[in-house]
Structures are given as C-alpha cells and as structure tokens.
C-alpha cells in the first residue's frame, strides 16, 4: 500500500510535462517553457524539504497524516492548472507549490516504510524509488491513453484531473490502510529525531567515503531530470504521432522502475557501490552513444532508450543507501536532507541549461554533454570501490 501510494502521489511531479504539447497549442506557450515549469517543481521540492526538516514536521505529527495532507493539497494545486489560462506566473507558482508539497509525499513515504521495514530497507528503498519513477512516467501514459481513445475522448484537462484524483486517493489509502507505526519504532524514532545541523555540510566534504557517495549522487542528478524532461523531444525526433510519443516516453521513463528494483536485488550480492557505479557508467555510455542511436534502426533506438531509462534512475536507491551508510549516525538525517537539496538544485541548473540549448542545438550534439555529471560522479566514487585496507 505504501508503494502504491508513493506511485500515486509522485505522479504530480511531471503532470505538466506530459501535456506540454497541448498547453503550447491551447495557451501559445513557447517550447522553452517546459524548463522553467519543471525547475519550479524542483525548487519547490528543495524549499519544502528544508522547511519540513527544520520544523521536524514528520516527527512532530503522524507521518501518515502529513502524507495525506500534502497529497490532498498537492492534488488541488495540480488541478488548479485548469484555471491558469496560460498565465506563466500563475503556472510557476502552482508548480512550485506542487514541488513544495511533494516534500511531504516522497521523503515521508520513505520514512513510513523505514519504520516498518528496518531489516530490509535497501530492497524497500529500491521498490519505493522505483514507484516514484513509475509515478513520474504515469502522466505520459495517461496522455497516450487519452489520445488513443482507449478511455474515451479525453482532453489534456482530463489527464491533469486524473493525476490529481490519483494523488488524493494515494494519500487517503496511506492514511486509512497503513497502520500507525509500532510502539517500539515510535520510541526509536523519537529518540533518534534531531534537528538538522550545519555540521553535516562540512562532513559531506571532509569525510572521504561520505564525499564519494554524495558526489556520485550529484553526478547522477545532473543527468537524471534533464533526461526525463528531454525524453519526449528525443522520441519526437523519430515518431510523428503525439500518442506514440507519449506512449514511448512512458516506457522510457518507466523503465527506471526495473532499474531501481533490479539494482536493489543485485546490491544484496554485489554491494550498493558496485551496482551504483555500473548503472552510472551505463547511463553515461548511453549519453555518449546518442549521436549513433538517434539515427539507428527504430528497434535499436528503443532498446537504447529503455536501457538509458533503466540505468539513469536505477542507481538512485543505491546512492541513498550509500549516503545513509557512510554518514555518522548522529547526523544522517541532516546529511540526507542537505544532499537531496543540493542534488535537486543541480537538477535545476541542468534542466535550464539543456532545455535552453535544445532550442538551438541538435540533439546529437547536446545529449553527450549529459555524461559530464556521471563521469565526475564515477571519478569521485573511487574510494568506495577500493579494498578496505587501502582506504585507511
């Protein structure tokens, strides 16, 4: 139930991206508008994460209640897009609000899972973050269904409303069907809860192993969300039908679910560091292969997109696991908070940069530059892959 609710709530994240072609027709928005609208969500998430952490919201109130309230308010903010009438300032405020409220859905959903599955948290994180990726892809799937007529003569407004209803139902499901945390877990959480401390920022740089995992994650974030935003443009370079573009975008982004879950299973045998390294390296190679794959036969083109989608997101749970393992227990919450905030800030830079450049650069010249982040991340991860004796 936690996984399904996470999937439903995070479908709010890229609802606008999925219907952007329709908004461009209805409201005469420029193609580059997708950059600021996506960045507004990312910045809202950064702000929300910091506020929730500073106020210790998920520790002061029942996490399921926080999840419910944020899901309902996020659904309302998303549905309010129908009233924006193309006003860019209103759209930006609404997307920022959705991002802010997602800070009470995605991290709080992981907290709820952590209270119930402490012994198998690595595998659970793989499934939960996989659900986030699948939720991210869902609006594209809904638009494909709407355009195909499989669910009736829907317009883009119906897709936005469907995402809002789904998010609200996810919040209600967690609140009604997931039991309160056990008394022992509650006591443990209360004892370990602590406000975020600036000391964690220094540790991110001075602790060698922690620095390795955190900067690996930063390299991953440079590529991940820029890829998600550019997927429809990449697919449209080979397909003309809007329905086909939405369907292919859904599968390319949704492939990250397989990467997250599969990576979690492989990590139990090979370790999180090696799995994260392998997936980061594979996604970097996919970036570099773009000039060839963009003109490859259509089946090979789609295989490339699926592999890229699976690996660009599949290392996310492993970076979260590595950071949590390498951070001192007394500041692990602060480290994760600062790491997520910096990572999402990096994604804003890469989204703005690559969406802007996509207006004048051909994709074959642009996409290989996404490999810069993974390359830096792989370089920084080297201490995690050395034998323990060599690390001392």
Domain ranges of the chain: 1-193, 195-382
We find that the CATH architecture of domain 1-193 is: Up-down Bundle (1.20)
Look at residue 112 in the predicted model and tell me its pLDDT.
Answer: 85
* CB-count burial class (<10 Å; 0-12, 13-18, 19+) for 61: middle
Under a CB-based contact definition with an 8 Å cutoff, are residues 313 and 258 in contact?
Answer: no
Look at residue 80 in the predicted model and tell me its pLDDT.
Answer: 97
Give strand ranges (E) for 193-232.
none
Which whole-number Å values give the CA distances from 136 to 90, 120, 250, 253, 311, in the listed order? 22, 25, 9, 8, 15
Look at residue 96 in the predicted model and tell me its pLDDT.
Answer: 98
Which whole-number Å values give the CA distances from 84 to 93, 94, 314, in the listed order? 10, 9, 35
Would you say the CATH fold of 195-382 matches that of 1-193?
yes
Q: Is the pTM of this model over 0.75?
A: yes
Look at residue 336 in the predicted model and tell me its pLDDT.
Answer: 85
The Cα–Cα gap between 141 and 166 comes to 14
- DSSP designation for 152: B
Under a CB-based contact definition with an 8 Å cutoff, are residues 286 and 308 in contact?
Answer: yes
Name residues whose C-beta falls within 8 Å of residue 360's C-beta, 6 or more positions apart in sequence.
Answer: none
Axis crossing angle, helix 316-326 with helix 121-148, rounded to the nearest 10:
150
Look at residue 193 in the predicted model and tell me its pLDDT.
Answer: 56
Which whole-number Å values give the CA distances from 379 to 168, 199, 217, 315, 375, in the listed order? 42, 25, 12, 16, 6
Look at residue 291 in the predicted model and tell me its pLDDT.
Answer: 98
Look at residue 181 in the predicted model and tell me its pLDDT.
Answer: 66
Residue 68: CA atoms inside 13 Å, Cβ hemisphere, count? 12
Under a CB-based contact definition with an 8 Å cutoff, are residues 282 and 311 in contact?
Answer: yes
Per-residue pLDDT tens, the chain, 392 aa: give them: 999 999 999 999 999 999 999 999 999 999 899 999 999 999 999 999 999 988 888 888 899 999 999 999 999 999 999 999 999 999 999 999 999 999 999 988 888 887 777 666 667 788 889 999 999 999 999 999 877 554 444 579 999 999 999 999 999 999 999 987 655 455 444 444 566 788 888 888 899 999 999 999 999 999 999 999 999 999 999 998 889 999 999 999 999 999 999 998 898 889 999 999 999 999 999 999 999 999 999 999 999 999 999 999 999 999 988 998 898 887 887 888 899 999 999 999 999 999 999 999 999 999 999 999 999 999 999 999 875 433 43
The Cα–Cα gap between 109 and 64 comes to 8
Look at residue 149 in the predicted model and tell me its pLDDT.
Answer: 52
The Cα–Cα gap between 261 and 180 comes to 26
Look at residue 354 in the predicted model and tell me its pLDDT.
Answer: 97
Name residues whose C-beta falls within 8 Å of residue 320's C-beta, 6 or more positions apart in sequence.
Answer: 125, 129, 217, 336
Under a CB-based contact definition with an 8 Å cutoff, are residues 350 and 220 in contact?
Answer: no
The Cα–Cα gap between 7 and 282 comes to 25
Could you give phi then psi for residue 152, rounded to 5 degrees? 95, 175
Could you give phi then psi for residue 306, rounded to 5 degrees? -65, -45
Look at residue 154 in the predicted model and tell me its pLDDT.
Answer: 52
Under a CB-based contact definition with an 8 Å cutoff, are residues 102 and 45 in contact?
Answer: yes
The Cα–Cα gap between 135 and 105 comes to 12
The Cα–Cα gap between 348 and 224 comes to 11
Q: Is 151 helix (H, G, I), strand (E, B) or coil?
A: coil
DSSP 324-353: HHHS-GGGHHHHHHHHHHHHHHHHHHHHHH
Under a CB-based contact definition with an 8 Å cutoff, are residues 224 and 347 in contact?
Answer: yes
CATH number, span 195-382? 1.20.1250.20
Name residues whose C-beta falls within 8 Å of residue 103's C-beta, 6 or more positions apart in sequence.
Answer: 44, 45, 47, 48, 49, 51, 52, 70
Could you give phi then psi for residue 36, rounded to 5 degrees? -60, -35
Axis crossing angle, helix 316-326 with helix 272-288, rounded to the nearest 10:
140
């Amino acid at each position: 139930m936690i996984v399904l609710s996470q999937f439903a709530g995070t479908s709010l994240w890229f609802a606008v991206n999925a219907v952007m072609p329709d908004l461009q027709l209805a409201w005469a928005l420029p193609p580059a508008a997708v950059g600021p609208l996506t960045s507004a969500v990312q910045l809202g998430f950064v702000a929300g994460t910091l506020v929730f952490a500073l106020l210790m919201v998920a520790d002061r109130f029942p996490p399921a209640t926080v999840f419910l309230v944020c899901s309902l308010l996020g659904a309302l903010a998303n549905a309010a897009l129908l009233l924006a009438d193309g006003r860019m300032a209103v759209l930006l405020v609404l997307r920022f609000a959705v991002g802010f409220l997602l800070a009470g859905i995605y991290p709080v959903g992981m907290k709820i899972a952590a209270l119930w599955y402490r012994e198998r948290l690595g595998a659970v994180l793989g499934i939960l973050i996989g659900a986030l990726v699948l939720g991210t892809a869902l609006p594209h799937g809904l638009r494909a269904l709407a355009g195909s007529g499989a669910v009736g003569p829907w317009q883009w407004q119906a897709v936005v409303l469907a995402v809002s209803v789904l998010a609200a139902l996810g919040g209600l499901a967690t609140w009604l069907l997931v039991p309160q945390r056990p008394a022992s877990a509650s006591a443990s959480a209360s004892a370990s809860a602590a406000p975020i401390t600036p000391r964690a920022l220094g540790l991110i740089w001075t602790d060698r192993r922690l620095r390795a995992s955190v900067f690996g994650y930063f390299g991953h974030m440079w590529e991940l969300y820029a890829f998600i935003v550019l997927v429809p443009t990449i697919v449209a370079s080979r397909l003309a039908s809007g329905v086909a573009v939405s369907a292919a975008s859904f599968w390319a982004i949704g492939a990250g679910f397989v990467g997250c879950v599969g990576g979690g299973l492989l990590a139990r045998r090979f370790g999180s560091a090696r799995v994260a390294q392998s997936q980061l390296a594979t996604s970097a190679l996919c970036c570099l292969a773009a000039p060839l794959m963009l003109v490859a036969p259509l089946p090979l083109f789609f295989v490339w997109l699926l592999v890229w989608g699976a690996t660009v997101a599949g290392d996310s749970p492993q970076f979260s696991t590595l950071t949590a393992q390498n951070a001192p227990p007394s500041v692990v919450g602060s480290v994760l908070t600062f790491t997520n905030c910096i990572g999402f800030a990096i994604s804003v830079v890469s989204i703005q940069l690559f969406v802007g450049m996509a207006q004048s650069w051909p994709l074959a010249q642009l996409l290989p530059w996404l490999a810069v982040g993974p390359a830096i991340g792989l370089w920084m991860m080297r201490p995690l892959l050395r034998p323990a004796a060599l690390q001392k």
